[in-house]
Structure 1
Amino acid sequence: MYKLLAGLKSYLKWQPIQTDNAIFRLHNSFTTVLLLTCSMIITATQFVGHPISCIVSGIPTHVVNTFCWIHSTFTMPDAFKRQVGREVAHPGVANDFNDEDAKKYYTYYQWVCFVLFFQAIACYTPKFLWDKFEGGLMRMIVMGLNLTICTREEKEAKRDALLDYLIKHVKRHKLYAMRYWACEALCFINIIVQMYLMNRFFDGEFMSYGTRIMQLSDVPQEQRVDPMVYIFPRVTKCIFHKYGASGSLQKHDSLCILPLNIVNEKTYVFIWFWYMIMLVMLIGLLLFRACIIFMPKFRPRLLNARNRMVPMEICRSLSRKLDIGDWWLIYMLGRNLDPAIYKEVMSEFAKQVEPSKHDRTK
C-alpha cells in the first residue's frame, strides 16, 4: 500500500516553469491525488479483510457473506427514526413484513472505489488538455531565465531572443489565453457535474451530507441520529433463499455488518467539504478572470503586482498596447522569469512594441 501511495507523489512535484494558477493545480493535481488515495485505501479495505460479515443460522457464513455482498443489502428507512435499544436493534434495521416497497437497497458501496477512480480521471482532464494546448511554449521562451546561474553573455543572448520572440509574435497569443481560461472553466463545470452525479449516486443524500453533519453538533446527545448512516449504514439486512431437504423454499433473514462503510463515510465527509471549498475558490477565480477580460484598467495593477520592479508607467503602456492574449503571456512570464531580467525585458518591449489600433485612434 505504501508503495502504491508513494507513486502518487509525482503528481505533487514542484514545477520550475508554471503555466497555470494555484487553484487550477489544486483542482487538477491535489484533488486527483486525494481521490486516487481514497480509491486505493477503499480498494485495499474491500479486498483485504472482510468488507461484510453476516449473522445467519443454518447456512455457512461465507456463502451468505458472498451472496449479500454481490446482491446488496437493505434497510427500513422508517426504522432510522426509532429509538435504538428499545424499538429497534440498530438504525434502519426492523421487520420488513414482506413489504418490498418499504425497503431501501444499497448497491453502491461496492462501486465506491471505482467511482472515486473515475472522479480522479475527470479532475485530471483539464490539466491534460492544457498541457496539450500549451505545448511547452512557456518553457521554450523562458529558456532557463528563471535561474540566475548563467554567464552574462548567455543571459543577454537569451534575453534578446525572448524579446525578439515577443515582438515578432504580437497578437498571436489570444487563443493561448482563451484555451487556458476554458480549462479553468472546465474545472468549475467538472466540480458541479461531479457533485450532481454523486448526489444521484447516493439517492439524493449527498448535497446535504456535510450540512447535516455540521448541524449535528447543535443537537443534544440523546436526540442525535448520525446522518452518515442514511448513506452508509453500518448494519443492514439481507434475505437468502434456498431449498430445504424436501424441496420446499426456505427464507433466511440475516443481519449484516458493513465495516467498509466506516471508511466510505469518512471519505465522503472529507470529499464533501473539499468540493465545497473548491467550488467557492473556482467561482472566485472565474470572477477574477472576468475582471481581467472585461476591465482593461485592472490589468496594469496586476502586472505591477506581479513584479514591483516594473514601473507602473511601463505596465500601463504594455496593457494599453497589447491585446488580451499578449498581456496574459507577459503576465505569466512574470511568474517564471528572474525579476531583474523580467524588468529589463518589459522595459525594452514597451519601447519597441507597436501600439494597438485602439491606442492609435486616441
Structure 2
Amino acid sequence: MYKLLGGLKDYLKWQDIVTDNAVFRLHNLFTTVLLLTCSLIITATQYVGNPIQCIVGKGLPTHAINTYCWITSTFTMPDAYLREVGSQVAHPGIDNDYGEEDHKKYYTYYQWVCFVLFFQALLCYLPKYIWDTLEGGLMRSIVMGLNIGICREEDKCNKKKVLLDYLLRHVRRHNMYAIRYWICEALCLINIIAQLYFMDHFFDGEFFSYGLRVMSFSEQAQEERVDPMVYVFPRVTKCTFHKYGASGSIQKHDSLCVLPLNIVNEKTYIFLWFWFIILATMLSLLVVYRVVIIAVPTVRPYLLHARNRMVPREVAAAISRKTDVGDWWILYMLGRNMDPIIYREVVAELAKKIETAASNTP
C-alpha cells in the first residue's frame, strides 16, 4: 500500500516560496491527493476483495454472471428497506419485484467510481496549474533568496537594492497579478460547488443530503429508520440474467450479488461529503474576505501590519495609501516569504522612497 500511494507525497511537500493561500492549497493539493488516494484504493481490488460476487443457480457460470452484473447494473426494491430483515426480507432492499420495473432502483455507478474520483482530482488541481502558469515564478524571482536571514551583508544590501528598484519601477502595475490569483481562488469555489452538484447527479439525487441523513440515522426510531449508507451504497443487490434454454425459450435467472466494494465506497463518500462541505464553506469565506480587501482599502494597513508586527502601523498605512491593491498584495506576499527583519527594512525604505517621489511630483 505504501508503494502504491507513496508517489502522492510529492504533492504535499513543503514549499520554500509561497504564492498562494492555505485554503487555496487545501483545495488544490490536499483535496487532489485525497481524491487520487481514494481512486487508487478503490481501483486496487486486491486490497478490498472482489468488487462483486453473485450467487447463481446450478448450470450457470459464476464468473460470467459476476461479469455481466458488474458491467450492466444491479438493483434493489426501495419499498423493501422498511421491512424487517430476516422475517419479511432477506436483506435490506431485497424483495420479489413481481415484474414491476418502475419500482426498481438500479445501481450503475460502482464501475465508474474510480474514474470519477480521478477526474475530480484533475479538476481540483486545475486552478493551481492555471495560477502557476500565470504567476510565472515572479515571487521567487523578486525574493532572490532573502527568505534566509543569514547571509553576507554585501549580498543582502545588493538584493535589497534590486528589489526596491523593481518595486519602485513597477508601482501600480501589479493589479493584474493580484486579480488573476483571486480569480483562481474564486475558480476553486466554483469547482467545489459544481462537483457537489455533479456527485448529487451521479448518485441520482442522493448525495446532497447524504451526510445529514447519516448523522440523523441514530436518532430515528429503530422500526422507522433506513440506513442511508446501505440505501445509497447497498451491500447486497439483485441482478437478472436471461439465457436461452434447451428448447430455445428464454429463461430468467435472479441472482443475489454481494458488493464488498460498497463498504469502501460508503466510507469514502461520507468523508468526502463532510470535507467538501467544509472546504466550500472556507472558500466562500475566503472569497468574501478578498472582496473586503478590494472594496475597503482601510483594512489593508492592518493586514500588512498583522503580516509582520515589526512593520510600524504608520509605515503600513503610508505604503497602502500610496500603492494600488496589486502592489499591496505583492508586499503582503513578500511578508510571507522574506526574512522578517529584512522585510521590515525593505518596507521602511520603500515607504520613504515612495513619499519622496510623491512629494517631488508637481
TM-score interval (norm. to shorter): over 0.9
Structure 1 length-normalised TM: 0.96
Q: How does 1:192-271 map to 2 (within 5 A)?
A: 192-221=193-222, 223-271=224-272
Aligned match of 1:24 = 24
Q: Percent identity?
A: 68
Aligned match of 1:298 = 299
Counterpart Cα distance in 2 of 1:317 and 1:158: 23
Aligned match of 1:159 = 160
Give the letter aligned to residue 325 of structure 1: G
Question: What residue ranges of structure 1 are gaps of 5+ in the alignment?
Answer: none
Distance 1:48 1:220, change over 3 A: closer
Counterpart Cα distance in 1 of 2:202 and 2:357: 52
**Aligned-CA RMSD value:** 1.7
Aligned-residue offset at 1:354: 5.6
- Checking the alignment, whether the CA contact within 8 Å between 1:39 and 1:116 is kept in structure 2 is yes
Task: Flag as ranges the 4+ runs of structure 1 deviating above 6 A.
Answer: none
The C-alpha deviation readout for 1:57-104, integer Å capped at 9, x for no partner, is 121211111111111101111111112112111111110111111111
Counterpart Cα distance in 2 of 1:97 and 1:261: 26
Counterpart Cα distance in 1 of 2:307 and 2:117: 37
Counterpart Cα distance in 2 of 1:216 and 1:131: 44
Matched, 1:332 2:333: yes
Aligned-residue offset at 1:355: 8.7
The C-alpha deviation readout for 1:294-331, integer Å capped at 9, x for no partner, is 01110000000000000000000011000010011001
Give the letter aligned to residue 4 of structure 1: L
Aligned match of 2:123 = 122
Give the letter aligned to residue 249 of structure 2: S
- Checking the alignment, whether the CA contact within 8 Å between 2:48 and 2:264 is kept in structure 1 is no
- Checking the alignment, whether the CA contact within 8 Å between 2:53 and 2:257 is kept in structure 1 is yes
Structure 2 length-normalised TM: 0.96
Counterpart Cα distance in 2 of 1:236 and 1:249: 23
- Checking the alignment, whether the CA contact within 8 Å between 1:141 and 1:162 is kept in structure 2 is yes
Counterpart Cα distance in 1 of 2:211 and 2:61: 39
Distance 1:55 1:291, change over 3 A: same
Aligned match of 1:99 = 100
- 18-27 vs 40-49, greater mean Cα deviation: 40-49
Matched, 1:82 2:83: yes
Aligned match of 1:14 = 14
Counterpart Cα distance in 2 of 1:268 and 1:296: 42
Give the letter aligned to residue 88 of structure 2: E
- Checking the alignment, whether the CA contact within 8 Å between 1:322 and 1:355 is kept in structure 2 is no
Aligned-residue offset at 1:219: 2.4
Aligned match of 1:73 = 74
Distance 1:243 1:65, change over 3 A: same
- Checking the alignment, whether the CA contact within 8 Å between 1:188 and 1:279 is kept in structure 2 is yes
Secondary structure in structure 1 of the residue aligned to 2:257:
strand
- Checking the alignment, whether the CA contact within 8 Å between 2:143 and 2:338 is kept in structure 1 is yes
Matched, 1:281 2:282: yes
